[in-house]
Amino acid sequence: MVFSSILFLFRFMPIAFLIYYLSPKKMKNFSLMVLSLIFYAWGEPKYLPIMLFSIVLDYSCGLGMRRFKDNKALRRMFLIFSMTGNLGMLFFFKYTNFFIDNINGLFGLAIPAMSLTLPLGISFYTFQTMSYSIDVYRGKVEAETNIINFGAFVVLFPQLIAGPIVKYSDISNELKNRRMNLCQIEDGIRLFIMGLGSKVLIANNIGALWTEVEGLNVAGISSGLAWLGIIAFSFQIYFDFSGYSLMAIGLGKMLGFEFPQNFNYPYISRSITEFWRRWHMTLSSWFREYLYIPLGGNRVKPLRMYFNLLVVWACTGFWHGASWNFVLWGLFFFVVLVIEKTVLLKYLEKSKCISHIYVIVLLLLSWTLFAITDFSQLGLYFQKMFDFTGGVDWLYYLRNYGVTLILCCIFSTPLLKKLYEKKIQYHPILKTVLLAVVLIFSVAYLVDASYNPFLYFRF
């Protein structure tokens, strides 16, 4: 079940919130956990035991670390149990066939691939539960003694499938004592509707352009169309994922939770370093806190720091998918970030225009690595981007999607947000009309359209 569906909007969400609001305070976490399990099991009930196992494993390991808080060896043993269990499940379901394929290719074997379906959201909730175990081990948070509270944290449906990655420390107080008011609920509704509009009205429409280009014979397209296609993918993945994150944050507010921000207009960045402070911020924060800093961060000698960065970016790429193109995508950013850190940043600060062009070009190259998993097609696509062959095929697609592209450019900057805060935010009637229009058009699109993908489901 996805947020941008008629099923969620007009069946699950109203029933779930009615049950949740009517539940007594002491029962809210229980009702939230049950509703979240139903939400998760709706599409893939066979993977529900994996979710329950993850809850029991990390809850038990947390209690073990609490019980033996003065015994470092036993605390470390429980942490290892938790990490092994979580990473073991992630690697088994997400990477088993990847390693089988590579072993077969490397040694000329014929090991059969396993029939596995990736459990929804496993990359996200695995990181969330691991952060809990690590924080308990470090003494940053107290181990949760109520399994209902802990279960509600793990399966909290707004951020269960695709983030943002919410650490236990982010919402531990709210799990036990949260208050809701009408202003918070109203703000949550606003964020949800704007996220829905971003996903349905912008991402889906511009995504249709990339789908068309992707379906063509790459050898026959012009350079202009190759660039236009990857521009469309760049906008699609941004509005798709940021819209879904915004919906999740809005739903969280309606339930009494404050989730961390996940996107902050990344395409206005003037360096790739800045871009990763604005893009998928909770993932960047997770890798920095739980991998980069424990490796030594930047408090070590330069060569060791570069090694730390290499490990982090290889893992970041591999986290996104069981394919070498994702690893290459991560390593691409490692190289660029090292160059920026050592040489380039001081020059980028001197010219806004050049720095923006630099970032956009590098991001388009990186999204090409990200979007195309077949290396032969990837090489051909890069060739098409840079052979600058003539052709007017791109004009046909520009004519059909030109307005959508212009809207994408505008909405990927904070211009309209500033206009909203200045002219609309404090006018209740105007704000209500605006949100109603976005909601009506979004629902109309969902009723009529069959194209409604969500890119991050495969991660």
Instruction: Give the DSSP per-residue string, 97-138.
Output: HHHHHHHHHHHT--PPPP---PPTTHHHHHHHHHHHHHHHHH
Could you say which DSSP state residue 158 is in? H
Burial, 207: exposed, middle or buried (Cβ in 10 Å; 0-12, 13-18, 19+)?
A: buried
How many Cβ atoms sit within 10 Å of the Cβ of residue 95? 16
- List active site positions: 320
Q: Percent helix, strand and coil across the chain, each rounded to 5?
A: 80, 0, 20
Could you say which DSSP state residue 61 is in? H
Cβ atoms 32, 19 nearer than 8 A: no
Residues 168, 174: Cα–Cα separation, whole Å? 10
DSSP SS3 for 172: helix
Could you say which DSSP state residue 216 is in? S
Q: Which of 72, 347, 372, 18 is nearest to 229 (CA)?
A: 372
Question: What does the block give as tokens for 83?
Answer: 């990490």
R_g over Cα of the chain? 23
Question: What does the block give as tokens for 443?
Answer: 């629902």
